[in-house]
Amino acid sequence: MDIIIQSLGFTAGEELETYVKEKLQKIERMDDNVIRARVTLQKGQSATDNHHCDIRLEIPGNDHFVQRAAGSFETATLDAVETLQKLIRRNKD
């Protein structure tokens, strides 16, 4: 699975990119049909929940797309990955 990380309005550090990749490895273990994960990290304008994480999983047939916002990129990423895991489990059943 290819992982493409794009940060809008800031430069993502190596630690953040590593964190995102580690979390997405869980998705790869669940479904080996995933071709690519496109992750967009963006700082929002609100005072709270201003760190946004959008993840699009490119899968043959249907892509999955999730948007999450939280107080940190790590929390937003974790929430997005957990939601994608639920979607994958639901589609396998």
> So what's the pLDDT on residue 51?
92
> So what's the pLDDT on residue 44?
80
Is the CATH number 3.30.365.10 carried by domain 2-92? no
Q: Is 34 helix (H, G, I), strand (E, B) or coil?
A: coil
CA distance 85 to 65: 12
What's this model's pTM, rounded to 2 decimal places?
0.89
For the chain, the structural domain boundaries read 2-92
CB atoms within 10 A of CB 25: 12
Question: Could you read off the pLDDT tens digit of each residue along the chain, which spans 93 residues?
Answer: 999 999 998 888 999 999 999 999 999 888 888 999 999 999 887 767 789 999 999 998 889 999 999 999 999 999 999 999 999 888 776
Q: How far is CA 27 from CA 2, 13, 49, 50, 80, in A?
A: 12, 22, 24, 25, 11
